Structure 1
Amino acid sequence: MTESVTVRPARPDDAAFAVPLIQATIGHIGLALTGAATDAEAQGVMLEFFVRPGNRLSFQNVWIAERSGEALGFLLGYAGVDSEALDEPFREHLRGRNLPGNVVSEGQHGEWYVDTLAVTGAARGHGVGARLLQEAPAQATAQGLDRVGLLVEHGNRAAKLYLRQGFEVEAERVLGGHAYDHMIHRI
């Protein structure tokens, strides 16, 4: 892997690459967000949302890392202040399925929120995740924000990457019965 990794904004046609990685990364959150019983069902719902603007999982909130035209991973993020509005389409989806529309918005006001970071198995350990994380402060700064935030589930080895990239644990949060560290990177 000698060529450099580039990062570009996602397009709707990136759905087939990004959506399976999203569900593989967020797991139980994806099931709750979509009201699905299986990963395959959740991916089907996410495919519909990915191509539409104005929701948490929209291509508009995704940056794709690639090398020589091959997608290697992605960063999904947005201004924390927008979390409630970006989650509303999922609440509507759940209510339309006669399920409670209990979607807990994760992003905090004052931060640019890294919702999901994922790298393909073959690209792990080659700096792709670190390269993607470099996009977060640039997006935060462009929106007048001075910090980047994310949640990492306790025991997730990605926490080491975040610490190396300058994130610090600010607090603990519990979502859906799972414990997470809320990590912040000040710009």
Structure 2
Amino acid sequence: MIRRATAKDADHIAPLIEQAIHEIAETLTGTQEKELILQRLALFVTQTGNRLSHENILVKELDGRVVGIVIAYAGVDAAQLDEPIKRQLLAWTGRAAQIDQETEGNVFYLDTLSVDSAYGGRGVGSELLQAAADEGEKRGLRAFTLNADQTNAGAQRLYRRLGFVPVKTIEISGGQFDYMERPYANRK
């Protein structure tokens, strides 16, 4: 079953976020200490109005547990969704945070896709990806977009096979990513 996440899912979602975004998780939490990263990611999931909020997450549930997540939101909301994270980082670290802008515009942005390794190879990631794509299309947005790490050949192949085309290169938390998009049918 794929469903909208709730704040109660936070402790199950946080490790899946960390598994998928590594250095970006350090940037978003202001620490390199894994336990603290997980606590802070879980806090963001419980809150509203930020990019990691349960409001922007769909979960795949199997056997009564969360086994995969997709975080996605409209590109036009991206900068606004980062503001609460920046404020929290200032409180935690005492200094203003720089968060790289990952998307913008009239698109639906796939921020994070992650599947518990014990459930890999069962189509969970594909199901979540399709559920997010469908949500963006329902919203009437121009394209479905994502960033693929240039060093991750497997992800690059998968996204190209699914119809995503690189549009530009961007830097996120020191890494190089291909910003890729797949236009929605009949949208320009």
Q: Normalising by structure 2, what TM-score?
A: 0.91
Indicate whether 1:64 and 2:59 are aligned: yes
The 2-side partners of 1:39 and 1:111 are apart by 32
* 1:30-74 Cα shifts (integer Å, max 9, x gaps): 111111122221111111111111001101100011234332201
Range with greater deviation from structure 2 (142-151 or 111-120): 142-151
The 1-side partners of 2:44 and 2:62 are apart by 26
Range with greater deviation from structure 2 (67-76 or 148-157): 67-76
**Offset, 1:106:** 1.1
Indicate whether 1:116 and 2:112 are aligned: yes
Q: 1:144 aligns with which of 129, 140, 146?
A: 140
The 1-side partners of 2:27 and 2:66 are apart by 27
State percent identity of aligned pairs: 33
**Offset, 1:168:** 1.5
The 2-side partners of 1:78 and 1:181 are apart by 18
Local SS of the residue matching 1:71 = strand
Range with greater deviation from structure 2 (129-138 or 51-60): 129-138
Q: 2:37 aligns with which of 36, 42, 46?
A: 42
Range with greater deviation from structure 2 (83-92 or 138-147): 138-147
Local SS of the residue matching 2:109 = strand
Q: Normalising by structure 1, what TM-score?
A: 0.91
Range with greater deviation from structure 2 (112-121 or 88-97): 88-97
- 1:182 corresponds to which residue? 179
Q: Which runs of 5+ in 2 are unaligned?
A: none
Q: 2:6 aligns with which of 8, 11, 14?
A: 11
| Residue identity matched to 1:102 | Q
- 1:127 corresponds to which residue? 123
Indicate whether 1:153 and 2:137 are aligned: no
RMSD: 1.4
Is the Cα–Cα contact under 8 Å of residues 100 and 171 in structure 2 kept in the other structure?
no
Indicate whether 1:94 and 2:71 are aligned: no
* 1:104-144 Cα shifts (integer Å, max 9, x gaps): 22122111000000011121112111111111222112222
**Offset, 1:145:** 0.0
